Amino acid sequence: MPFPQRVGGLPEGTGSEEARRPPAKTSVPTGGARYRRLVAGRRFRLQAAGLAVLAIVLLLSLAFPLRDVRIAVDGGVTTVNSRTTNGEALVAQAGIELEPGDSVEASGDDEVTVRRATEAVLEVDGQVLSLRTQAGTIEELLGEADVPLAPEDSVLRNESFVAPSASVAPPSALASLGPNAGDSATGDGPVALEVRRAVPFSVVENGQPLQLRSSRETIATALRDVGVRLGPGDQVQPSLDTELTAGLQVHVEHAMQVVVTLPEGKTIVYTLASTVGEAIAESEIDLPAEYRLEPGEDAAIAPGMAIHVVAISEEDVLETERIASETVYEADATLPWGERRVVQGQDGVHYRQYRTVYENGEAISRELVDDWFDPEPANTVIYYSTADAPPPPGELPDGVNPTGVLRVYATWYNAASAGRSPSDPSYGITATGVPVDRGIVAVDPSVIPLGTRLYVPGYGYAVAADTGGGIRGAMIDLGYPDGVVPGWISQWVDIYILGP
């Protein structure tokens, strides 16, 4: 490639072209010594001039050598080969067009950065301004535009509230533009900026008036902006979505927090009610069917107070008790000697109905509300004879003769003295299966066989129908019914054997 055609080569008229032009024609004669001297002198000057030009070009090449320069622009990098160090000339050589507000900065001998101005549309105080700026923050841009900002004023960037210290370009635009974000254009369109001026309004909070200013658009955002915190159950008039206008008065009533203890656990209630009963009634708590409040319904609500909901329930319990009948003995003078009459009784059932009152599942009272028998218990009554004993054997009726006389030691017993419990099925039952009664005698079968009829003086007629562990040899045990006090005294006595 010829030297003058390189990027950054010398411009025309520097001498290099003249050195190559053919010598101009003159009218000097071509003959003679003088002519030769003239020709030789011109040739020498031309050669000296060419050498000087070559020396200058060589010096310029040494002082400003060709180099590759990287130009960062619009998120990319362009490289040009040039001797110049002027940033704008390098940008122009690279074919990059600059817009108003753009800047060119050298980052070193071989690096140049083109910082694009941010295009913004600013709406403030009823005016719309179009700007191209190198400002990094909205605060700097407003300073360039000579727009003052009061402490309560707000700034919106693309319809979103941001701090004045926020960057002019949105974060999404910065992220999409790579490492040179903020040094180049912000994307497809200008950044929309709005300065919203604060307006005065008042808040009556729990009866206390406050004079405030805010630039937010609704009551909800304005209250949050000025530090009025709202909690569950709080009441605000007008509604939170009402547009904030100058002179608007807002009433805020803060709900009180109370702890409600239920049988299944605790819950928090926020209320504007004045009494405990009103607070519970307006709550969405699932209450028991019957309950009691502690403190009572008329108690005044206080912040942080504890309310106990005591569940009340009742339960009716029916208890049964079996009443066992007893056997009683009663004298009957109408009965002949040795006879008895039995009136059979029955077991009864005693019913008792109790009412138990519970609070939170714990019994607090138990009351007997009713009791009855079904059936009524009735004792078994055994009537025994009180008639005089029959005469001794010598005076026995005709046709009845004793077969023998035996001297024995006679004691007495009844069912209760046999050692068995009344609930025992064998209670009062003899060895032959008949109940113990007067006229039943326990014997030693090896001496007096079972079934032998006897006559015992002072006792009367009897039958040998029982045995006993303590009855051995010449001994007998005279039977008596339960409940009868015998008049017998254990003694030796002659008894008469009457036969089977």
pLDDT of residue 389: 56
pLDDT of residue 400: 56
Same domain, 172 and 232: no
Same domain, 489 and 398: yes
pLDDT of residue 32: 65
pLDDT of residue 20: 44
pLDDT of residue 333: 76
| Count of domains forming the chain | 6
Whether 59 maps to a domain, the answer reads yes
Whether 269 maps to a domain, the answer reads no
The pLDDT averaged over each successive group of 10 residues in the chain (500 residues) is 32 40 48 68 75 63 68 82 76 81 80 87 92 91 91 91 91 54 57 93 94 92 91 93 94 93 90 92 87 92 92 93 85 73 90 93 92 92 69 56 86 87 87 91 94 89 91 92 85 86
Same domain, 192 and 204: no
Whether 229 maps to a domain, the answer reads yes
Whether 486 maps to a domain, the answer reads yes
Same domain, 403 and 457: yes
pLDDT of residue 446: 92
CATH number at residue 246: 3.10.20
Same domain, 298 and 376: yes
Same domain, 375 and 457: no
CATH number at residue 162: 3.10.20.30
Whether 354 maps to a domain, the answer reads yes
pLDDT of residue 64: 55
CATH number at residue 453: 2.40.40.10
Whether 262 maps to a domain, the answer reads no
Whether 319 maps to a domain, the answer reads yes
Same domain, 299 and 383: yes
pLDDT of residue 2: 33
Same domain, 342 and 406: no
Same domain, 398 and 490: yes
Domain end call among 234, 253, 272: 253
Whether 471 maps to a domain, the answer reads yes
pLDDT of residue 466: 94
Q: What is the 3-state secondary structure (H, E, C) of the chain?
A: CCHHHCCCCCCCCCCCCHHHCCCCCCCCCCCCHHHHHHHHHHHHHHHHHHHHHHHHHHHHHHHCCCEEEEEEECCEEEEEEECCCCHHHHHHHCCCCCCCCCEEEEEECCEEEEECCEEEEEEECCEEEEEEECCCEHHHHHHHCCCCCCCCCEEEECCEEECCCCECCCHHHHHHCHHHCCCCCCCCCCEEEEEECCEEEEEEECCEEEEEEECCCEHHHHHHHHCCCCCCCCEEECCCCCECCCCCEEEEECCEEEEEEECCEEEEEEECCCEHHHHHHHCCCCCCCCEEEECCCCCECCCCCEEEEEEEEEEEEEEEEEECCCEEEEEECCCCCCCEEEECCECEEEEEEEEEEEECCEEEEEEEEEEEECCCCECEEEEEECCCCCCCHHHCCCCCCCCEEEEEEEEEECCHHHCCCCCCCCCCECCCCCECCCCEEEECCCCCCCCCEEEECCCEEEEEEECCCCCCCCEEEEECCCCCCCCCCCEEEEEEEEEC
Does the model's pTM come out above 0.75? no
Same domain, 403 and 495: yes
Same domain, 297 and 226: no
Same domain, 397 and 420: yes
Range of the domain at 28: 3-63
